[in-house]
């Protein structure tokens, strides 16, 4: 943790993500208005002291909707990546540990999934389901596990021939103990980095689905459907497109910075190379 926080990239990303998460968690206290409250007297008002980010076509306060939309976008990203990471760890561990025909079968499954454009696969599945936040999280998670699987498999193949694993196997350690006690803890660095970067991708996917009308449905606010509302008034209500776009940009940038910083801080090889270069 000390090494991670001393990394400027990781620290910058952590500050960005922590700030957004705090605003999302305390949205009911921070938001000046009810995000779903319609005011016909305040339709399409530009940013002002009363409405910091203006109002939309129904007179709803954009800043309040942005705060509550952050909850949706971050929750979708974190839960979807949690599902994908869990699947990837299980399949990658089995593939890298047992090798043989098990490895061949799982890797061919990964190849098949990677050959299908992920976003179009998600669109196809969502089209047959009722658009809801839970369906979106599950679908994104079930279509995003391939990268984690390949990372975990590669780490397990590397660790399988290490002395400490062979020593434990010689002493009679069972498969479960070898996997969860010795090999998986030593594979956490790429898993953590991949998960952090995966949240950024999931936020983008959710925003894209909501923008197309297949994600979170009105009146529930998300950054994607705020952007959808803004496209109808983009010529004269610029704030409806600018602020949710900036929120998505800053959030994705924060997760990418955090992921890159954690990779540099947690990878002992990178740390060693950096220390040698400084000397």
pLDDT of residue 83: 94
In this structure, the chain runs to a length of: 279
pLDDT of residue 269: 57
pLDDT of residue 21: 92
Q: Tell me the per-residue pLDDT of 70-101, one tens digit each, with 9 for 90 and over.
A: 988 888 888 999 999 999 999 999 998 888 89
pLDDT of residue 86: 94
Average pLDDT over residues 105-132: 83
Q: Is 135 exposed, middle or buried (0-12, 13-18, 19+ CB in 10 A)?
A: middle
pLDDT of residue 45: 87
CA dihedral 229, 232, 236, 240 (to 10 degrees): 20
Share of the chain above pLDDT 70, in %: 95
Give the Cα-Cα-Cα angle 232, 233, 235 (nearest 5 degrees).
120
Looking at the predicted structure, is the pLDDT value of residue 200 above 70?
yes
pLDDT confidence tier of residue 274, bands split at 50, 70 and 90: very low
Tell me how far apart the alpha carbons of residues 33 and 42 are, in angstroms, rounded to a whole number: 12
Looking at the predicted structure, is the pLDDT value of residue 140 above 80?
yes
pLDDT of residue 270: 53
DSSP conformation letters of 111-129: HHHHTS-HHHHHHHHHHTS
The answer to whether the peptide bond before residue 219 is cis (omega within 30 degrees of 0) is yes
Q: What predicted TM-score, i.e. pTM, was given to this entire model?
A: 0.84
Average pLDDT over residues 269-279: 47
Looking at the predicted structure, is the pLDDT value of residue 227 above 50?
yes
Tell me how far apart the alpha carbons of residues 181 and 33 are, in angstroms, rounded to a whole number: 50
The two tokens of residue 75 are 């929750």
pLDDT of residue 277: 40
Share of the chain above pLDDT 90, in %: 24
Q: Is 142 exposed, middle or buried (0-12, 13-18, 19+ CB in 10 A)?
A: middle
Among 64-68, 76-80, 115-119, name the one with the lowest average pLDDT.
Answer: 115-119
pLDDT of residue 251: 92
Average pLDDT over residues 195-215: 85
Q: Is the distance from CB of 270 to CB of 264 less than 8 angstroms?
A: yes
pLDDT of residue 267: 67
Which fold, 9-30+52-269? MetI-like fold (1.10.3720)
pLDDT of residue 268: 58
Looking at the predicted structure, is the pLDDT value of residue 272 above 70?
no
Whole-number average pLDDT of the chain: 85
Looking at the predicted structure, is the pLDDT value of residue 240 above 60?
yes
pLDDT of residue 275: 47
């Amino acid at each position: 943790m000390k090494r991670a926080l001393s990394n400027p990239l990781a620290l910058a990303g952590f500050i960005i993500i922590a700030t957004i998460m705090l605003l999302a968690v305390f949205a009911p206290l921070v938001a000046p208005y009810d995000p779903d409250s319609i005011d016909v007297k305040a339709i399409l008002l530009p940013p002002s002291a009363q409405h910091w980010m203006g109002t939309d076509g129904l007179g709803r306060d954009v800043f309040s909707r942005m705060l509550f939309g952050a909850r949706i976008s971050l929750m979708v990203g974190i839960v979807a990546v949690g599902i994908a990471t869990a699947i990837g760890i299980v399949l990658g561990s089995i593939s890298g540990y047992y090798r043989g025909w098990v490895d061949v079968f799982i890797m061919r499954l990964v190849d098949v999934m990677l050959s299908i454009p992920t976003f179009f696969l998600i669109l196809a599945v969502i089209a047959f389901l009722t658009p809801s936040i839970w369906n979106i999280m599950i679908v994104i998670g079930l279509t995003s596990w391939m990268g984690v699987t390949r990372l975990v498999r590669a780490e397990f193949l590397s660790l399988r021939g290490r002395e400490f694993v062979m020593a434990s196997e010689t002493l009679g350690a069972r498969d479960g103990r070898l996997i969860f006690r010795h090999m998986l803890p030593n594979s956490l660095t790429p898993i953590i980095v991949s998960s952090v970067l995966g949240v950024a991708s999931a936020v983008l996917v959710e925003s894209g689905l909501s923008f197309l009308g297949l994600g979170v449905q009105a009146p529930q606010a998300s950054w994607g459907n705020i952007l959808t509302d803004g496209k109808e008034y983009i010529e004269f209500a610029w704030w409806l497109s600018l602020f949710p776009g900036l929120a998505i940009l800053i959030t994705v940038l924060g997760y990418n910075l955090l992921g890159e910083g954690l990779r540099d801080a947690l990878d002992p090889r990178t740390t060693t190379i950096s220390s040698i270069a400084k000397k």
